[in-house]
Amino acid sequence: MLVYSKIIEESTNREDLKRLNQLMASARSAMYSAKGMKDIIEDRKEFSNSVNQVKFDIYKLIREQLIAFYDQANQLLLETDQSKVSQDLKKLMESIKLEYEQRIKNTYQEAGKTIVKEIDISTLFNASRELYASSESLIDSLKNYLLDDEHILKYEELPNAKI
């Protein structure tokens, strides 16, 4: 952060300063994403080792969704077409929203069918929300890292793209 403040104080050209701010925003969002995943490590371990079928099924769903999400995010890093990146980020945002809703719905349905402790239901909901927030932060990080100013504005104008 000290280096960042020194660079801002120095006379830099406007475009470099814009890009530096984008990269700082990207790094900040990536850190939020990583922190979110770190915060639920113990919950994920508990779900994966659970004899409770509901918790284990939610773990499997989360695992499948995260694998797909990170595969798509990795593909974005290889893409060079800014318009395609923008569209793919929007699709990824829509996907994580639908998956979050699916996890919540599944948790409610399964909790109604079987006996699940309140604390377990709460943990499932909290972990699901944290996964969504983490994924959302990573999308924001990718947006700031991969897109130029023009495409960031276009991305933010897309329906359901704003974070």
CB 39 within 8 A of CB 107: no
Radius of gyration, alpha carbons of the chain: 19
End-to-end CA distance of the chain, in Å? 24
Distance CA 33, CA 131 (A): 9
Query: Residue 8 has what pLDDT?
Result: 62
What pLDDT digit, counting tens, does each position of 2-30 carry?
566 666 666 568 888 888 899 999 999 99
Dihedral of CA 40/41/42/43: which sign?
A: positive
Higher-confidence residue: 136 or 52? Answer: 136
Distance CA 121, CA 107 (A): 7
